[in-house]
Structure 1
């Protein structure tokens, strides 16, 4: 049975203590990025070439300006003091301090992390966390990965780490890091290294503690004028000094073999001499541990045992099939009784408490494998929090005498966003491939997040609407590569769903909903003013997040003299309208002023519905094909872009049901509705009323009429079109035999079914919406089908799959899509590899590879193989919600 956050588990109590500010349980967490190099923040180039301005090769020797990265790391919420692991297997050419991957230009499908690591567990307060890194015995094949991927074409798959053979015969270590908090400022780390290979092999493990460099830049916003310090105090212990962080003691535990543990010290400062041929500020620089361990340069480290970076060096040989373990503890020694806390007992308690928390959260109908998937999905979601620091005005101007960008940057990338001041813990899509917030990704992240930590979910959604993020004109920033891009407007929907989750959990937060609504009004106005150029309620919003789904690259504009009317752009706005209508009606229960706004959104919603269905005749509906298409106006004629894609399915999500009983309780809204029905006859036809056989007394607003809904869903649920074994494809399979082609002014534009990775460089080639399955849009479609069923009941029946003779109502169709999505991650009954992992691991039947999961960005439309970013647990964690929904539906 599910319990609310007021449940009596210890972790729920921590959440409550943190929220009431009794104890700062979230001060420390897995907030380090997996990649700080190659980001816009660290780019000070003339041409905005982030990948080349700060490279992976430089990262070990060059201090970061705006953040830090590390391997399986932890930090405080302002990323002042950081902890992570460094490793060496005796063969690598560099010390493994961070994850390696190909840059966008190097990969044959864009940027791509080339490492194997897993997020295994976490509680919302990070009182317990667990993750692991898979480290080969052999030298890491950096050059081979680069050359092989460079030789591959877009028609070939990516050349991955396991293709190189470094994992053959299980010749690798699993390096596992567990974190347990004895208190808000008492972090214990348990590091376990397991040798899975057939022979003993050496490994050097360097747990590293360091301060983010804030002292050489003159950072006004850091408020730190004094250089911090870490110094040895006794045995294997050090203490920290920082102007605005209390002193901490870090104890490096005993060596598992009883050997001495040397402490290495240096400064977190750039090796200017090595990188740029300039004089160093200090002889002890950021890459000192690399040079000490691998090159044997004993004079690279500070002999007086102080600096801003320290590591304990654990050199050991691990026999075949065995493990070795040691601990590190970072704590505030001023806390009473801190020196009497037992590390093993603390870990045992935190593991038990984590289990109890998820026992309370997850529904009882889940099987063991399903529970494991959910735990790992939530772990990935929680581990993907990151300290995100980007003050655009300071970045544009640069740092005098240290990192001065070229003058042209003042009018270049993100120069319209000088107000943006980001210094927060934010939910990332993927901390290596997308180590920056993406607004519409974040909205989807908060749906599963609200199940386990509604307060964090509310704050994440709210911060995007604050004046130091949202543009003064009302636009929500998209992502750091180009804040001006236009993502689908799903923020209001996420706010409403998170609010509804707080209601379900027995702690409704109407203040959150009202505050969000006021800010969303500004964003809605921006959409209306900026995206509806003709004022005809048909929208052309440009990019809209679906990358290469269109005939044209929608972020770069259209051929001269043409105009595009977007079925999905218009549907997204109807969806936005309907959501704002629902929010305003909910708030009107307590405040009549919201009823006035509800009538505004009612009017706007109906006008968009009318426009998409009637403009220029049948609008964007094609009567012959019984489907919605984009329309191109060119040379005085209108051309339907007959591509069967999500563009034509998105109109289904614009559906809202309004209970007549609620209308009767809101006289202000009822009066407006009655007036509308009386004087707007031509528009009132778009309001559907519950008829005999439907459940309850209600009215429904939707783009698709009953007949058009039936037609589109019939197409969507055909396996020869959209329905795959693993959910709804982003492009119909019919385009495998019949690609769409458009001849326009001597140029041929073509869209064909591509179920896997992209076959074009549109949007960098690193994602593909021309055939694969994407969780977020599937989730919205499932929601919509359930709402339609709520209104129509069993009046609409479909064959699913087509030709099976099995009739389904729309709720059953939603359940079928939901079930197929869960197939992606569940172990098949025959014990074979999970579909999402097939082709992504050396041996799917080996428990070492089949029991741990990666949550990919999207999935092959025919096989279900995971593609794109491998740790996009953000929106792919929605699969946990799908599993929970299926389990609850199966219960009596």
Structure 2
């Protein structure tokens, strides 16, 4: 029995919550199998064995069907075990495509006019945290998939042109496509049911080949483990076909396929004949089933019906309005009665009912049904975006015993100084197509909404990034596979603190062990920042691009064309926020262990040093705070000693708002050593204590710590809440709209660099890819702005008001402003009075068609003027924060 926060009566735990508890306690392994298969493994750094790191070209989409992956697998609506030994996914063929549809297609970084881009329509519609129920939808054209046209047209278009999308090709005209729905339900942790439903949305009967496919990840070709697992045809009947194997790790298993379809077997081995012209290459290879179905090559599959990859072959004609259902079961149990339609469907009905029960208890009662649907799909995207991620850098650099020697250049190239990194875990990905690799600061944001449904997984993810086989010995947290040593904003402590508080609020007790584990490792990371990114020891930090691609005049992660360096408002502010996060954690731990009072004092004092430095950089007296403008800017230091502010009104100048905290006497009075040290510091360092504000009321003393004091706050918010500057109808822009008509131009040595407002895709290739912080709305920083305004309100109270919007004459307190910003963000996804969702802009199919308009994509970022989704189309990762915002709106 459990009691919900704020409620006095206990109620039974839901079935899904019981499964979570069983998995947490290792009583039953409900999470052993899940959607841990990527949407794309081709074009990744791990599969790149080129001399100069050209990952997109090393294993392109055209090679993916023929080349056995070294590190991890991809598939359509795929699932696998947590070690990815065994995978199950779907393959399709419409009778016209040149290849099977086995994985998601998209443009590489060099093919897209705005960088890499998925060119498919697929949707994560539902999932419980234990994956006891999952639902996926793929829209498959009946015409030949326009691979070449998508590449050629986007290559023809320039940066000033919009992306050429799959809908633009006309392949969905007259609704000539299939809705391919894939559902999974678990009868037990080891008994997985797969139900595939094909719906023909077109006006005429249409053929489709459906191939549920099971295979082993290739672990035997690299000279490290020669054991090769085998699967074979079991004793099948006219009503059921069986693929069976006895896996060394999982024991005997069967894939049971309804209707007795033909079974096609091949090997998950590279087709060296096709890729390298090897006439003596193996006969049965990874793309053998493709060649059998598409090319009619009957010799491409093994007639002995044995191999490491197998498909059930269903060739059906689907009538309009007459769905076709295919049932498949992957189990360690008996085949007898396992595919009985009534019993099979009853498991799905039970799991769906339990999923509804789980989410009904979570969703706020006072939000609309549309908001509930958006929230549930956001959770589904987060949970479907888990992926088995494998990367052993030392092995990757040196090569495999059975493979050729890697080019010598790689020993001194990408990630060469991260040889301790060994990843083989299920990790939350930003987007399993566009970003099928973890990114440290993305993951921190993922963990907040995940903590609402599965706090254990959220905590485990945060701990994982700090383990010794992830974190560098020098204390740096790995950034992402393209450059593990790049610098992401230090938000790990913030995420850990927030996840701790979310769980404590919901369960009534916090996980102190988790908090201690992350705190001790974060001490190492904090020290790395101080030693490596405060070049002159002045508490002003550099950091590099800090995740904000394309936001400034220069690529801040590379040497400046002018020479010199930039003192960064955002890097310094992130470190101020880091100090306050660590202070909060230390004070919480000090409630039960006084030893943490001393380290709390360290972070208190360090924050004050940073606060002072934000206003006066040592003897140079160059201020990040610009008094004349009332805004924060980066400061450029030139080799000749000259310095001046880079007057770009961007998110860089709003990030100082993130560093804010209030210390209440209720806690401080219980910690005498910390209180004594703080009081000594205030009394004996008056030049520093100017940055600490104190107020007393009814015997309560509050001390206010913020990089932006109460006098500067209205000046910064004047810009942020101005609809002609930062404030969009859909949140806060990354760059002020002021720069649309007033670009910032920096000129030196006959060269000019400029920054102008760009609300959608970037027209500037400064940072490459499709990154753009020059105008769009980004959810992660907006979420932090909302949280910061709530913290300011906690101290300043209802009496502190600002104009909202600027120039309107309407005054609001900061809690109301935070609520209004949250509303603007969430309404990006919700249907307005006109029935349209801003996220889909002018895409009429998504706005009008009843089979499309309630399918939500959670994009990477959003048009600064109209809210349309841009960038990665499935980045539920940090855009999944909308689920948390919807939750907060009803609490």
Shorter-chain TM-score bucket reads over 0.9
Instruction: Tell me what 1:231 maps to.
Output: 233
Alignment pair present for 1:828 and 2:832: yes
Q: Is 1:588 matched with 2:593? A: no
- Matched with 1:297 is 297
Structure 2 match to 1:122: 127
Give the distance between the partners of 1:384 and 1:330, measured in 2 at CA.
22
CA distance in 2, matches of 1:773, 1:444: 16
* Kept in 2: contact 1:266–1:310 (CA 8 A): yes
Runs (5+) with no aligned partner, structure 2: none
TM-superposed deviation, 1:398: 1.0
Q: Contact between 1:710 and 1:796, CA under 8 Å: does it hold in 2?
A: no
Question: Which residue does the alignment assign to 2:729?
Answer: 725
The equivalent position to 2:645 in structure 1, one of 632, 640, 643, is 640
Distance 1:843 1:502, change over 3 A: closer
Q: Is 2:750 aligned against 1:742? A: no
Q: CA deviation at 1:684?
A: 0.6
Give distance in 1, aligned partners of 2:771 and 2:3: 37
Cα distance in 2 for partners of 1:329, 1:598 equals 55
Contact 1:6–1:12 (8 Å) recurs in 2: no
Partner of 2:709: 705
Q: How far did 1:651 drift?
A: 0.2
Cα distance change on mapping 1:300 and 1:602 into 2, 3 Å: same
Question: Within the alignment, does 1:847 sit opposite 2:850 as a pair?
Answer: yes
CA contact (8 A) 2:108 2:117 kept: yes
Q: What displacement does 1:343 show?
A: 1.1
Q: Does structure 2 conserve the Cα–Cα contact (< 8 Å) formed by 1:578 and 1:655?
A: yes
Contact 2:364–2:887, Cα closer than 8 Å, also in 1: yes
Task: Show the counterpart of 1:373.
Answer: 374
Q: Deviations over 1:5-51 (max 9, x none)?
A: 99610000000000111100000000000000100110111111111
Over the aligned positions, Cα root-mean-square deviation in angstroms equals 1.8
TM (norm. structure 1) is 0.96
1:556 aligned to 555, 558, 564, which one? 558
SS in 1 for 2:209: strand
Q: Deviations over 1:748-800 (max 9, x none)?
A: 11000000001111221311000000000000000000000000012321111
Aligned 8 A contact 2:221 2:402 in 1: no
Q: SS at 1:825's partner residue?
A: coil
Q: Any idea what SS the aligned residue of 2:371 has?
A: helix
SS in 2 for 1:239: strand
Q: Is the 8 A contact 2:562 2:748 kept in 1?
A: no
Is 1:861 aligned to 2:864, yes or no? yes
Query: Do the aligned partners of 2:576 and 2:607 also contact (CA within 8 Å) in 1?
Result: yes
Q: Deviations over 1:444-484 (max 9, x none)?
A: 00000000000000000000000000000000000000001
- 535-544 vs 333-342, greater mean Cα deviation: 333-342
Q: What are the residue-to-residue correspondences of 1:264-343 with 2, within 5 Å?
A: 264-279=264-279, 282-333=282-333, 342-343=343-344
Residue 338 of structure 1 and its aligned partner are, at CA, apart by 7.3
Q: Is the 8 A contact 1:228 1:243 kept in 2?
A: no
Report the Cα distance in structure 2 between the residues aligned to 1:544 and 1:400, rounded to whole angstroms.
Answer: 38
Contact 1:233 1:239 in 2 (8 A): no
Q: What corresponds to 1:211 in structure 2?
A: 216
- The counterpart of 1:21, out of the listed 26, 31, 52, is 26
Could you tell me which residue of structure 1 aligns to residue 575 of structure 2? 573
* Larger mean Cα displacement after TM superposition, 633-642 or 168-177: 633-642
Separation of aligned partners in 1, 2:12 and 2:148: 52
Distance in 1, Cα, partners of 2:719 & 2:681: 34
Which shifted more, 356-365 or 801-810?
801-810
Distance 2:879 2:844 in 1: 19
Is the 2:459–2:499 contact (alpha carbons within 8 Å) kept by the matching residues of 1? yes
Deviation at 1:810, TM superposition (A): 0.7
Give the Å deviation of 1:561. Answer: 3.7
Aligned match of 2:887 = 884
Q: CA deviation at 1:275?
A: 0.9
1:617-636 alignment, distance < 5 Å: 617=621, 619-634=623-638, 635-636=640-641
* 1:280 to 1:520, Cα distance in 2 relative to 1, 3 A: farther
* TM-score where L is the length of structure 2: 0.96
Alignment match, 1:473 = 474
CA distance in 2 between partners of 1:342 and 1:446 (Å): 37
Q: Structure 1 residues 551-560 or 149-158, which shifts more?
A: 551-560
- The answer on whether the counterparts of 1:631 and 1:639 sit within 8 Å (CA) in structure 2 is yes
What is the SS of the residue equivalent to 2:890?
Answer: helix
The answer on whether the counterparts of 1:800 and 1:808 sit within 8 Å (CA) in structure 2 is yes
In 1, Cα distance between equivalents of 2:424 and 2:383 = 18
Partner residue, 1:777: 781
1:49 and 1:542 map into 2 onto residues whose CA distance is 23
In 1, the alpha carbon distance for the partners of 2:402 and 2:669 equals 68
Conserved 8 A contact 1:695-1:792? no
Tell me if 1:682 matches 2:687.
Answer: yes
Rounded to whole Å, the distance in 1 between the matches of 2:230 and 2:261 is: 24
Distance 2:699 2:90 in 1: 58
Range that drifts further, 548-557 or 471-480: 548-557
Equivalenced residues, count = 878
Tell me the residue number matched to 2:608: 606
Give deviations 1:612-635, integer Å, cap 9, x for gaps.
012244621111110000111223
Structure 2 CA distance for aligned equivalents of residues 173 and 338 of structure 1:
28
SS at match of 2:752: strand
Q: Which runs of 5+ in 1 are unaligned?
A: 255-259
Residues 121-270 of structure 1 correspond to what in structure 2 (within 5 A)? 121-219=126-224, 225-235=227-237, 236-254=241-259, 261-270=261-270
Cα 1:403–1:129 change in 2 (3 A) is farther
* Structure 1 position 441 matched with structure 2 position 446: no
Distance between the aligned counterparts of 1:877 and 1:3, measured in 2? Answer: 24
Instruction: Tell me if 1:96 matches 2:101.
Output: yes
Q: 1:724 to 1:681 in 2, by over 3 A?
A: same
Shift of 1:192: 0.3
Deviations 1:296-332 (A, max 9, x none): 1111111111111111111111112331101100001
Is the CA contact 1:690–1:792 (under 8 Å) kept in the aligned structure 2? no
Asked whether the 8 Å contact 1:719–1:802 carries over to 2, the reply is: yes
Does 2:547 match 1:545?
A: yes
Residue of structure 2 in register with 1:257 after alignment: none
Task: Quickly say closer, same or farther: Cα 1:135–1:696, change in 2 above 3 A.
Answer: farther
| Residue pairs, 1:396-407, within 5 angstroms | 396-407=397-408
Q: Tell me how far 1:225 sits from its aligned partner.
A: 2.6
1:145–1:160 contact (8 Å) kept in structure 2: yes
Matched residue, 2:823: 819
| Deviation sequence 1:276-304 (CA, Å, 0-9, x none) | 01145531111111111111111111111
Distance in 1 between residues matched to 2:12 and 2:725, nearest whole Å: 46
User: Does the 8 Å contact 1:196/1:322 carry over to 2?
Assistant: no
CA distance in 1, matches of 2:336, 2:208: 37
Structure 1 counterpart of 2:758, from 751, 754, 758: 754
Q: 455-464 or 322-331: which moved more?
A: 322-331
1:234 partner SS? coil
Given that 1:198 and 1:321 are in contact with CA atoms closer than 8 Å, whether structure 2 keeps it comes out as no
Q: Give distance in 1, aligned partners of 2:842 and 2:403.
A: 46
Q: Which residue of 2 aligns with 1:80?
A: 85
> Cα offset for 1:403?
4.4
1:194-232 per-position Cα deviation (integer Å, ceiling 9, x unaligned): 011111111110010111111111236xxx634433333
- Whether the aligned pair in 2 keeps the contact of 1:775 and 1:876 (CA below 8 Å) is yes
Shift of 1:805: 2.2
Return the alpha-carbon distance in structure 2 between the equivalents of residues 520 and 874 of structure 1.
23
